[in-house]
Structure 1
Amino acid sequence: MSAAPRVRVPRRPVHGVLLLDKPLGLTSNDALQKVKRLYRAEKAGHTGTLDPLATGLLPLCFGAATKFAQVCLDADKRYRATLALGTTTSTGDAEGTVLRERPVDVDDARVAAACAAFVGTIEQVPPMHSALKHEGRPLYDYARAGVDVAREARRVTIHSIDVVARADRTVTLDVACSKGTYIRTLAEEIGERLGCGAHLAALRRTTSGPLSLEHAVTLEQLERMDEAERDACLLSPDAPVAHWPAVRLADADAGRFLSGVRRRLAHPDAPNVRVYGPDPNAFLGGGRIVAGELISTRLLSPLEVAALPSATSAASIR
């Protein structure tokens, strides 16, 4: 008997940002595809990979919001990281094989000093077990094949490291850092500075730029919702740029802005601004102000602007 024909689910235009609390065990792309199917969305993308063993904030951009996904990728991040002291592994996390066991003899002062040593601008060599690509293939493919690829050190910034909790062989840290920071590498380096070694036992992302885990929903919650309830979870496409200064235009100037026409206005110069029409939620796009002139950089289409009033604006998450 032949298989029943596959039913094609009709897609629809969806515009906004969903703050997903990514579960343990899923890749970021797996999570994205599951949510995209639930929304029946035409266009979607995530804004920064979380490893399968990491959980927490994964902003998903739909439709017009994908134009601002790069802002999330470039934004500072915050993580809750649990380090297992005394054990180093082949991958730097709990998934790898144990390479070495050492005794742990540290106190609060030594842990605080070890963490403080990494605050500021530092250089990190990307780990082999990472998604960074070399000649079109992620490094973890080479690592699984037993091939070590030369990697150049990268400069990153650690804004702060605060000790949240400490037990005999574990330390939980709150880490605020720039994009591109490898927390597993940081965990290994802190372990070496303590003299006992360490690996990353658990990782949870809590913020990305202005976006916070406290506003996130889980995959299980989304699966229990109907379509209207899911749509109500979406933030407006301006959510990734909620930290940019806001500019509001009257009707005539809003139309010209959407046409790409430069406008003069009484506003301080700024490298990035979010621009609105007269309606409170009428997000038009992003721009910059140079010598008193507003210049568009990312524009929504009139159809996208018209679809936004039901979404939550950036002002509500600040």
Structure 2
Amino acid sequence: MARKKGREISGWLLVDKPAGVGSTDVVGRVRWALDAKKAGHAGTLDPDATGLLAVALGEATKTVPYLTEALKAYDFTVNWGAETATDDASGEVLQRSDARPSARAIHDALPVFRGDIMQVPPAVSAVKVDGARAYDLAREGEDFTLAARPLWVEELTLLATRDDQADLRLVCGKGGYVRAIARDLGRALGCLGHVHSLRRVWSGPFDVADAIPFERIDRTAQAELDSALLPIQAALDLPQMRASDQGAARIANGNPGQVLDHGDYGAEVWVSHDDRAIAIGRYMGGEVHPSRVFVRP
């Protein structure tokens, strides 16, 4: 008997991931619930983290890189007084400190972590070291050093403080580790620290307020999930160009095609026809040269 391949369905489904569930598990559950042929996500959340996970289905997977590059916002709580092997509450405590920072000290330390910074990822992360994942090497007890990587931090704000904790919001670009921020902030304050809880509240144009709770996925009818799908272009912060009938036919085959709108020469755009996204490409003098074509079922 031939294996069932699933439906040719495309779009974005926003899911509010709970703690204790992996990002890959969320994608698998969504794919099963929608009987989708293809699915992926834009930006892994740690199993203990909660919040927005944007799941791309079908042709929307071709737009994942655009969401990966977008700014993302996280609300997180730091526990003071201990540094752990994983830089979060699940790891073995490596060092302890009796020191506790004041709200003023925390506030004054934050500017160093804004703008263009260099960040060393947590030892337990997906960063590759000589072809192997850092988290695998850490589990095997290997001795290795991760190099610092550039990160853009748009915002790092103190929201609230308690005796042993602080609540913060981070808005950052691609490749940021909240756990590393908590670790480095604890070191800078001389009190040590690690992430107690973490929640992604938005990513690019997507907000967790619009997401479906993960536990509802199995209890929601397929037709209702279909209606919750956002279109392919929802992840794209690009100008729209409308293709002519003839242009749409050429673009669908990967060739330059005529568009009805005008824009900046060489600008990256997304192209629509009959109110549906058909491609991403470069606008060049009345035509769009496609780089990614969305196949229609």
TM-score computed with the length of structure 2 as normaliser: 0.92
**Cα deviation, residue 274, structure 1:** 1.6
The match for 2:71 among 65, 69, 76 is 76
Distance 1:202 1:156 in 2: 21
Letter of the 1:251 counterpart: D
Distance 1:159 1:296 in 2: 32
**Cα deviation, residue 292, structure 1:** 5.6
User: Which secondary structure does the structure 2 equivalent of 1:176 belong to?
Assistant: strand
Q: Is the 8 A contact 1:82 1:202 kept in 2?
A: yes
Distance 1:158 1:112 in 2: 16
The match for 2:241 among 247, 263, 284 is 247
**Cα deviation, residue 16, structure 1:** 0.8
Residue number in structure 1 paired with 2:270: 274
Deviations 1:142-193 (A, max 9, x none): 1111112232211111111111221111111110101111111111111111
Distance 1:135 1:99 in 2: 26
Fraction of identical pairs, as percent? 36
The answer for unaligned runs of 5 or more in structure 1 is 1-5, 304-318
Question: Does 2:120 match 1:125?
Answer: yes
User: Which secondary structure does the structure 2 equivalent of 1:191 belong to?
Assistant: helix
Distance 2:125 2:291 in 1: 32
The match for 1:204 among 196, 199, 207 is 199
Residue number in structure 2 paired with 1:172: 167
Give the number of equivalent residue pairs. Answer: 295
Question: Does 2:113 match 1:90?
Answer: no
The answer for unaligned runs of 5 or more in structure 2 is none
Deviations 1:206-227 (A, max 9, x none): 1222111111111211211111
**Cα deviation, residue 255, structure 1:** 2.3
Distance 1:80 1:209 in 2: 15
- What are the equivalent positions in structure 2 for 1:294-313 lying under 5 Å apart? 294-303=288-297
Letter of the 1:91 counterpart: T
Question: Does 2:228 match 1:233?
Answer: yes
Letter of the 2:149 counterpart: R
- What are the equivalent positions in structure 2 for 1:1-318 lying under 5 Å apart? 11-241=6-236, 243-259=237-253, 260-263=255-258, 266-269=262-265, 271-277=267-273, 279-280=274-275, 282-290=276-284, 293-303=287-297
Deviations 1:266-296 (A, max 9, x none): 322354212111x33x111211224564221
User: Which secondary structure does the structure 1 equivalent of 2:26 belong to?
Assistant: helix
Q: Is the 8 A contact 1:17 1:62 kept in 2?
A: yes
